[in-house]
Amino acid sequence: MSQVQIRGVSVHYGQHEVLQRLDLDIAKSEFIVLLGPSGCGKSTLLNAIAGLQEVSSGTIEIGGHDVTRVEPKDRGIAMVFQSYALYPRMTVRDNLSFGLKVAKVAKTEIERRVGEVARMLQIEALLDRRPAELSGGQRQRVAIGRAVVREAKVFLFDEPLSNLDAQLRADLRVEIKRLHQRLSATMIYVTHDQIEAMTLADRIAVMKDRVIQQLGTPDEIYRKPANTFVARFVGSPAMNLMPAMARAEAGGLSVEIDGKSFPVDADAKATHDQALTVGIRPEHLRVDVADNGGINGVIDVIEPMGPEKLVWIKLGDQVLCAKLDASFGQKAGDQVWLSAQSENIHVFDKQSGVRL
């Protein structure tokens, strides 16, 4: 049985439809990430699960109970916001315990839980401070702690790391993953950051245009993106896309790019002469310095990244990105020849962008 079940949920703001008949089943203890660009409806969906946003149609069940019309406080959820939303006049200790006091939890039990959570999140030394006396990272730890003390069945996170600088974001990301392993609670986490999604999620729901574009494990989303939007949104630098034609030959399907033919994986289903968009990730683009039958291009710019180099290569008026080993010795202006292994060539329909 799923812990959270979303069935046909639509949300409108006036005439404007933000979510369209959305279905999503989230298992107990699962870490689900809602990933998508700003404005795609991630917060709206999270707020609908929390009961902070009314749905126009559909149902939401949590723990087997229909909570579609249930008050937020009675849904068994705890929420962490990007803006922390701490009580400014209360100490950290009071911020952590306030919700439990309101819920009339016994004093010794409150002390036990606050102590345990403070230890877990390494904020014991901060318990007597007020939010103004904390850094952003410390505030967000307290905000997470306040959700954890409630021992909710389902945790909802809305871009909790977006206000933090890069190093803190990486640290706290690991912290959240550790927390999930320890609590084995169900977590629903909203972000526009594909790295957060890939690193944290058991499954990712990629959202755009009012619907879920793809639901899958990080590995599935990376290896078999359902369409060109998902293909470009996940992975950094983004997947290279280029126009191609399908060539169905006796030996199987090939794609013709720039007059050169490359065999593709047996899974791909395209008809002869079908107009395609072909995708190759920067880490899968093979770059040769001699003509190996690949596509001819000229190095435009090289960006050293420590262990790797990002090599931007001009193909007519297109620029492709290759992620290569730091030992790659060519310079801007040098000629190169590009190819890729068949299993690393993604094939999409040109019109719809759907994976074939």
Using the contact rule CB under 6 A, the part of the chain among 38-46, 111-119, 217-225, 234-242 near ligand ADP is 38-46
Using the contact rule CB under 6 A, the part of the chain among 33-41, 196-204, 300-308, 346-354 near ligand ADP is 33-41
Q: Is 235 in the site for ligand ADP (CB under 6 A)?
A: no
Q: Which of 41, 131, 216, 282 binds ligand ADP (CB under 6 A)?
A: 41
Min CB(34)–ligand ADP separation in Å: 8
Q: Which of 6, 26, 32, 42 binds ligand ADP (CB under 6 A)?
A: 42
Using the contact rule CB under 5 A, the part of the chain among 3-11, 36-44, 289-297, 329-337 near Mg ion is 36-44
Nearer to ligand ADP, 18 or 176 (CB): 18
Assigned token pair, 55: 């749905």
DSSP per position, 227-285: BHHHHHHSSSSPPEEEEEEEEEETTEEEEEETTEEEE--TT----TT-EEEEEE-GGG-
Q: Is 194 in the site for ligand ADP (CB under 6 A)?
A: no
Residue numbers 255-314 binding ligand ADP by CB under 6 A:
none
Nearer to ligand ADP, 195 or 242 (CB): 195
Using the contact rule CB under 6 A, the part of the chain among 42-50, 91-99, 304-312, 318-326 near ligand ADP is 42-50
Q: What whole-number distance in Å separates Cα of residue 283 and Cα of residue 305?
A: 13
Q: Do residues 309 and 324 make contact, with C-beta atoms less than 8 angstroms apart?
A: yes
Nearer to ligand ADP, 158 or 175 (CB): 158
Q: Is 54 in the site for ligand ADP (CB under 6 A)?
A: no
39 is in the binding site of which of ligand ADP, Mg ion, none (Cβ under 5 to 8 A by kind)?
Answer: ligand ADP
Assigned token pair, 257: 């790019």
Q: Is 38 in the site for ligand ADP (CB under 6 A)?
A: yes
Q: Do residues 140 and 84 make contact, with C-beta atoms less than 8 angstroms apart?
A: yes
Q: Which of 18, 92, 148, 257 binds ligand ADP (CB under 6 A)?
A: 18
Instruction: Report the largest interatomic distance among the alpha carbons of the chain, rounded to a whole angstrom.
Output: 76
| Identity of the amino acid at 179 | L
Q: Which of 31, 33, 40, 43 binds Mg ion (CB under 5 A)?
A: 43
> Could you count the other beta carbons within 10 Å of the beta carbon of residue 217?
13
Task: Give the residue among 271, 305, 292, 269 at the shortest CA–CA distance from 340.
Answer: 292
Q: What whole-number distance in Å separates Cα of residue 279 and Cα of residue 17?
A: 31
Beta pairing, strands 16-27 & 275-280: unpaired
**Helices 92-102 and 107-120: crossing angle, nearest 10°?**
140
Nearer to ligand ADP, 42 or 113 (CB): 42
User: Using omega within 30 degrees of 0 as the cis cutoff, is the peptide bond preceding 218 cis?
Assistant: no
Nearer to ligand ADP, 45 or 239 (CB): 45
Q: Which residue ranges make up the site for ligand ADP (CB under 6 A)?
A: 13, 18, 36, 38-44
| Site of interaction with Mg ion (CB under 5 A) | 43
